[in-house]
Structure 1
Amino acid sequence: MAVIGGGIASLAAATVLAERGVRVVLYEREPVLGGRVSSRTFALPDGTPATMSRGFHAFFRQYYNL
């Protein structure tokens, strides 16, 4: 089964499928997983490393399986 995207929904779907014995291939165009909940590390002008979140994602109580 091909799962497109490495965001939280795709990762959750891939996990459920794999737990049920399905062979999963995950495709993601970015070099890191996480989609909008991922973060990036970069250097400030003085060389100090800093980490910044790419976006916001909320977890609601209805998402009992995450």
Structure 2
Amino acid sequence: MIRGLGRFLFDFVVGDEWRIAVGVVAALLIGWVWLAAGAPVAAGVVVTALLMGSGFTVTMLREGRGRRK
């Protein structure tokens, strides 16, 4: 049962595009470090959201370009 749960969570988080999962984890870590350094919470939330959105956008643009050929 634990093994099945682990497999489900891996597929749910990583899915088909591992680069997005890595980008989300990196954005969360950067936001956490920023907040730990004393930045305002609102700024940390905005920066983290922008990092996640830009990472997703870059990944989708790269993927879309590769499939046009």
TM-score class, shorter-chain normalisation, is under 0.3
Please state which structure has a larger fraction of its residues in helix.
2
TM-score (norm 2): 0.27
Please state which structure has a larger fraction of its residues in strand.
1
